Amino acid sequence: MSTPKNPAPEKSAMFGTYARTPLTFERGEGVRLYSSEGEEYLDFNSGIGVNALGHSDKGIKKALLEQSEKLWHVSNIYTIPQAEKLAQKLVKATFADAVFFTNSGAEAVECAIKTARHYFFDLKQPEKFEIIAFTGSFHGRTLGTIAAGGNPAYVEGFGPTLPGFTHIAPGDLKAVENAIGEATCAILIEPVQGEGGLNAMDKNFMSGLRKLCDRHNLLLILDEVQCGYGRTGKFFAYEWSGIEPDIMAVAKGIGAGFPLGACLATEKVAASMVPGTHGSTYGGNPLACAVGNAVIDHILADGFLAHVEKTGQVLNRYMQQLMQKYPDLVLDVRGKGLMAGMKIKPPIRDFVDSLRSHKLLCVAAGDNVLRFLPPLIITEDDIGEAFKKISAALDDFQSKTH
Ligand SMILES: *Cc1c(COP(=O)(O)O)cnc(C)c1O
């Protein structure tokens, strides 16, 4: 008896938390993914900004294979040389003096929040625990980070929201200053809002926040989980604004597909996180950090960030041209480097589906924005190819509505 070609799909045994499409991928190569049916897709999503080096990169495969032959995991009660080495590299390349490794972005933000609160606790100011955050932001899905993000849709139905967060519309320094009170301990912001709609903060706003923090004795926490690790053409997006944070959450690109995250801090702030204050079973294990070391070496190698900056400009040019060609359908162009997006008229979910039928993978963001997060190794030709597909999908939409 032969097996039917398309057996009736079994009911999924997984939580229904994602509106999944039935499409499955079997393998990836560079900026392309191949479905189980053997169809080729151009990947402008990168697993939401994770696959920074594309798929199947030789260097990180080698690092993973070599480490997997030796040792996968030991407890953080032992010294882990792979983690020490990666932390040294991060410290050398950033504002930070110390690193805590996590498995995800939300955990990195959680660590940032705990570190800020504990810093003031240690200064005998436990009444300072409130964090000013921003509307349109996304910081993760744990109970702490949904409170930090403040998106009502993510908070509702999950019991009392963790207290200690105030949300202000980004861009308004006066409003931020007015929100500062006796209880305020920090300001938390994504330098480029990802999920919220690719809203890049301007330089003056970022330096204004730094000044407010200095003037009012607050800590500046950056969530660079999505916009960091080379995504905008600098190693971290804060470098564009000429300021430095006190604490920063990192993830997504740091493991380029292996679950890894990190919370970075200055020596002064990290000093309060002594034994017993925080921990993670897996965070920074040998396997994850072996990959992390290969990723950071690749991203900080000569010419890599310059390539991201240049291709980011090409992407921006294509978006601008498209907005000129379809002024009624492409309403705005946003973002920075290879973290970009276009606010469009077609309903975003439908349009992402339509692009998929043209074999281009993108993801939606808030405010009906089509989000582009291609692997950082993307070429100008790949971008040209993607925009042919986007034009075709816009033509489809136009012919359907006229
Ligand atoms: C993705 C993301 C997070 C959460 O990361 P997870 O790994 O999903 O926990 C937090 N902040 C920002 C800015 C993100 O883009």
Nearest CA to ligand 1 atom 15: 226
Q: How far apart are CA 91 and CA 101, in angstroms?
A: 13
The reported pLDDT for the residue numbered 1 is 45
User: In this structure, what token pair is assigned to residue 3?
Assistant: 């097996």
Q: CA 105 to CA 283: how far, in whole Å?
A: 12
DSSP codes of every residue in 335-347: EETTEEEEEESS-
pLDDT band at 10 (very low <50, low <70, confident <90, very high): confident
Task: List pLDDT tens digits, range 168-217.
Answer: 999 999 999 999 999 999 999 999 999 999 999 999 999 999 999 999 99
Report, at the CATH architecture level, how domain 25-56+311-400 is classified. Alpha-Beta Complex (3.90)
Could you tell me the distance, in angstroms and rounded to a whole number, from the CA of residue 143 to the centre of ligand 1?
A: 13
For residues 110 and 104, give the distance between their C-alpha atoms in angstroms, rounded to a whole number: 10
Residue of the CA atom closest to atom 10 of ligand 1: 139
Among 50, 85, 21, 23, smallest CA distance to 286 is for 85
Q: Return the residue whose CA atom lies nearest to atom 6 of ligand 1.
A: 105
Mean pLDDT of the chain: 97
Give me the pLDDT at residue 81, please: 98
Distance 226 CA to ligand 1 centre (A): 7
* Residue 315 pLDDT: 98
Residue 324's pLDDT is 98
**Composition of the chain by helix, strand, coil, percent to 5:** 40, 20, 40
- How many A from CA of 195 to the centre of ligand 1? 9
* Distance from residue 358's CA to the centre of ligand 1 (Å): 28
Q: Which two tokens stand for residue 31?
A: 């900026």
**Ligand 1 atom closest to residue 259's alpha carbon, by position in its atom list:** 7
In the chain, what are the domain boundaries? Answer: 25-56+311-400, 71-299
Q: How far, in Å, from the CA of 392 to the mean position of ligand 1?
A: 32
Which atom of ligand 1 approaches the CA of 48 most closely? 1
Query: Which residues, including other chains, have CB under 8 Å from residue 142's CB and lie 6 or more apart?
Result: 106, 107, 110
Residue with tokens 């955050």: 133
Residue among 324, 326, 335, 328 nearest 370 (CA): 335
- Asked if the model's pLDDT at residue 5 lies above 60, the reply is no
CA–centroid distance, 104 to ligand 1, in Å, is 7
Average pLDDT over residues 60-88: 98
Q: Which residues contact 123 (CB under 8 A, 6 or more apart)?
A: none
Tell whether pTM > 0.95: yes
The CATH T-level fold of domain 71-299 is Aspartate Aminotransferase; domain 2 (3.40.640)
Q: What is the mean pLDDT of the segment spanning 85-100?
A: 98
The closest alpha carbon to 340, from 319, 360, 368, belongs to 319
What stretches of 270-313 adopt beta strand conformation (E)?
A: none
Residue 27 CA to ligand 1 centre (angstroms): 24
The arithmetic mean of pLDDT across residues 340-368, rounded, is 98
400 Cα to the center of ligand 1, angstroms: 36
pLDDT of amino acid 6: 60
* CA–CA dist 292, 284 (Å, integer): 9
Residue 8 has pLDDT above 80, yes or no: no
Closest ligand 1 atom number to CA of residue 224: 13
Choose one of 48, 102, 137, 138 to mutate for the ligand 1 pocket test, by most ligand atoms within 8 angstroms of C-beta: 138
**Mean pLDDT, to the nearest integer, of 269-289?**
98
Q: Please determine, for residue 66, whether its predicted confidence score (pLDDT) is greater than 80.
A: yes
Q: Which residue puts its alpha carbon closest to atom 5 of ligand 1?
A: 105
Specify the pLDDT at position 184: 98
Q: Which residues line ligand 1 at a C-beta cut-off of 6 Å?
A: 104-106, 109, 138-140, 190, 194-195, 223, 225-226, 251
Ligand 1 atom at minimal distance to the Cα of residue 252: 7
First to last CA, the chain: 50
Q: How remote is the CA of residue 109 from the centroid of ligand 1, in Å?
A: 8
Residue given tokens 């991203």 in the structure block: 299
